[in-house]
Chains A and B, each alone.
Chain A
Amino acid sequence: MFWNMLLLALREIKRNVLRSVLTTIGIVIGVAAVITMVTIGGGATKQIKQMIEGLGSNLVVISPGKRMGPGQSTDVIPFSLADVEAIYRDINAVAAVSPVSTISFKAIFSNQNWTTQVTGTDNQYFNVTNRTIKSGRLFNESELRIGSSVCIIGETVRQKLFGGQVALGEHIRLQKLNCEIIGILDEKGQNTMGMDQDDMVVIPIITYQRRIAGNLYISLIQVSVQNGASTEKVQRDITHLMREQRHLSDSDDDNFTVTDMKEIARMLTSTTKMLTGLLSAVAAVSLLVGGVGIMNIMLVSVTERTREIGIRLAIGAYELEVLMQFLVEAVALSSLGGLIGIFLAIGASIFLSGVLRVPFIFNANIVGVAFLFSAVIGVIFGYFPALKAARMTPIDALRHE
C-alpha cells in the first residue's frame, strides 16, 4: 500500500514539475532565511559577549554631571587628581584607579598627520583597560610627576604616521606639544561600538593638564574592582565618597555618575538579542510568505487536482488512498525544500559570518523548528485542498469547474 502511494506521489511530482519546483522554492527560501538570520544573530550576540569579556575586568567609570533624563541639563563640575587619590585611598576592593582626560587632536610627524584621540592618564590606565605594551616601556615615576613630553601610541597611529619606519624614540607633535614616543601598545581592534581602540596617543595626565588643557581638571575616573568583589558595593561606596568630596547635602542630587560597565554590557547584549529577535521575526514572515506562495500554487491548481481526484475515485481509488498520495507528495516536496533550505542556510551563514566577522555557531534547534514548520506548511497547503475533493462524489469531482 505504501509503495503504491509513493509511486503515485512520485508520478504526480514528475507530472507537475513546475508546480513542484515552485512549492519547493517557497519552502527553501523561508527555511534558509530563518536559519541564516538566527545563526548570524546568535553569532553577533556571542561576539559581543566576547568583546565585553575583553573590555577589562569589573570596570566602573565615574563621569561628571548627573544621569540625565529628557530635557534636563546640569552644570558639569569636573574631577581633580584629589578625587582619584581619595578613591584609591578610601574605597575597599579597588584594584586600580586611573584619571582619564581625552581630546581629539592632530598628531604630526614630519609631513604625515593623523587626527586621533589624545588621552592624559597614568600607568594604572593600562591595568584598568587591559592594555599591554608591545615595544618600549610605560611611563616612569618622574615623567608622571613632572609631566614630561613623552607618549605611548597605539598601532593605528604608528601605522598612519610611520608606516614601516621605526617609531620608538621619534618625536611627534600634538599642537604645541612635541613629545617623544617611549612605547607602542599591543593591538586591541574595535570595541563594541565599532571604535578603533588602537587609534590613540597616551600622555601623562600632568602633561595633559599643563600643556594641552591648561587646567587641573579630569574628565573621567576609571576604577577596576578586585576580582570577586561586589561591583554594586564599590559603586555605592564611590557615590558616598564623591558626595563627601563635593560637599553635597542630603537634599542635593548627585552631580556625577557612577557607571558599571557590566551594566552597559548587559544593555548591549539585550539590544543585540532584541535585534536578533527582530531579524528572526522578519525571517519568520518570509517563511510565512513562502507558505502563502505555496498555498497560491496549490489553490491555482485545485480545479485540475479536483478533476484528477475525480478520475482516481471513479477508477476505484479509496478516499484514503487519494489522501495518502497527496500527503506523501506534500511531505516529500516540503522535506526536500526544507533540506535544501538547511544546506543553503548553512552555506549562507558561513559566508556571512566570514564577511561580517561574526563567529559561526550552528543552532540545531532552529534548524529543527524551521524544518518542522516547512513540513507543516507543505502538508497543510498540499493536503487540505485534496481533502475537500476526495470527499465529493466522483462525478462532482470530475465535473468540477
Chain B
Amino acid sequence: MTMPVVSEKERKPLISLKGMIKVYGAGQATMQALRGINVDIDEGEFVAVMGPSGSGKSTCMNILGCLDTPTSGSYCFKGLNVGNLSRVYRTRLRRFYFGFVFQGYDLLSRTTALENVELPLIYRKEPSKARRAKARKALEIVGLKGWEKHTPGELSGGQQQRVAIARAIVTEPTVLFADEPTGNLDSARSREIMDLLTGLNRDKGVTIVMVTHETDMAAYAKRVVHFVDGLVSSDETCGR
C-alpha cells in the first residue's frame, strides 16, 4: 500500500501530462493517436474531455488510467513519474487510487452484477461482509437495486453501463476516469449519473476526468478540454 512519497513543498498538480505522444502500429502503417498533449489537472477538479471521434480521447484516458503506456512524453501522478514505475506500482495506482469506467463497459461475462462490483474490493482485500454491503450500496446508487443477481447478458446496455459505473465508484477512488459514462443512457438517467458524479466530486473530493460527446453533460464539469486530432485545441475553465 505504500507509495514512494514526494514532499509537497510547492503545490503540484495531481496529474501532469507533458508532450504525451502515442503512436500505434509500426513501419509505414503507423498512426499517431496523440501528438503532444500537455495538460495539468489539480486535485478535486471535474474535467470534461470532448472532441470528435478518433481524436485520441480514449487513448489519453487509458494512459492516464495506467492501462497503457505512452510512446513518449511524461505522465506525473502526485509528482511521481509514472513512466518510471514498475508494473507492481502501476497496479497499486489502479488498485488504490483509480476508478475506471470503460467506453465498452467491460464487465465479466456470466458473472452477476453484484460480483462484478465486488471485484475491485476483493483485490483490495475487503472482508466479505463489508464488501457485499458496499457493492449493494453502489448498485443502489446507480439505480440498480434488485438487479444484483443479473449477469451482463441479462442487462440492457444502459444497465451494464451503470454496473460499470458502480464498479468504478465502489472503492471511492482518488481519481475517477470515465470514458463516455452516459453514452448509452437516456437524458433523465444521464442527469442522475451526472448528479452522482458531481456529488462525489463535491462531497468526497473525488477528482473526475470524463470523456463525453454531449455538451449538456460537459456543462456539469468546471473545466472542458477539447481534443482535435491528437492535440488539445482548447482548455476552458468556466467560472460557474
Contacts and interface: CB of A to CB of B under 8 A. Distances in A.
Contacts of B115: 11
B75 interface: no
Interface string A1-33: 100100110010001100000000000000000
Contacts of B68: 393-396
Grouping DSSP codes into helix (H, G, I), strand (E, B) and loop, the A interface class, with mixed when no group exceeds half, is helix
Contact of B67 (A8, A307, A308, A314): A314
Interface stretch (A59-67, A76-84, A315-323, A365-373): A315-323
Nearest to B125: A4
B62 interface: yes
B123 A321 contact: yes
B93 to A, nearest CB: 9
A319 B119 contact: no
Interface in B93-121: 94-96, 98, 100, 102, 106-111, 115, 119-120
Contact of A316 (B62, B87, B102, B123): B123
Contacts of B110: 15-16
Given A393-B68, A394-B67, A314 B106 contact: yes
A314 B125 contact: no
A393 B69 contact: yes
Interface string B44-76: 000000000000000000100111110000000
A232 interface: no
A324 to B, nearest CB: 12
A312 interface: yes
A304 interface: yes
A223 to B, nearest CB: 77
Nearest to B88: A318
A398 interface: yes
Nearest to A321: B123
B167 interface: yes
Nearest to A314: B67
B130 interface: no
B122 interface: yes
A88 B66 CA distance: 98
A288 interface: no
Contact of A319 (B66, B87, B92, B94): B87
B94 A393 contact: no
A241 interface: no
Contacts of B234: none
A311 interface: yes
B111 A15 contact: yes
B124 interface: yes
A325 to B, nearest CB: 10
Nearest to B58: A395
A312 B88 contact: no
B233 interface: no
Given A314-B65, A314-B67, A394-B67, A308 B108 contact: yes
Nearest to A315: B120
A313 interface: yes
Given A314-B94, A316-B96, A318-B88, A7 B69 contact: no
A4 B120 CA distance: 12
B81 interface: no
A313 B108 contact: no
B122 A8 contact: yes
Contact of A395 (B62, B96, B98): B62
Contact of A312 (B87, B96, B100, B119): B119
Nearest to A319: B87
Interface string A369-401: 000000000000000000000000111101000
Interface string A57-75: 0000000000000000000
The interface centre, meaning the residue of B62, B66, B91, B120 with most chain A CB atoms within 10 A of its CB, is: B91
Contacts of B102: 314, 398
Nearest to B128: A7
Contact of A315 (B62, B92, B119): B119
Contacts of B124: 316
B109 A315 contact: no
Nearest to A3: B128
Contacts of B100: 314-315
Contact of B94 (A16, A304, A316, A398): A316
8 contacts: A1-B125, A313-B94, A315-B94, A315-B167, A318-B88, A321-B123, A395-B68, A398-B67
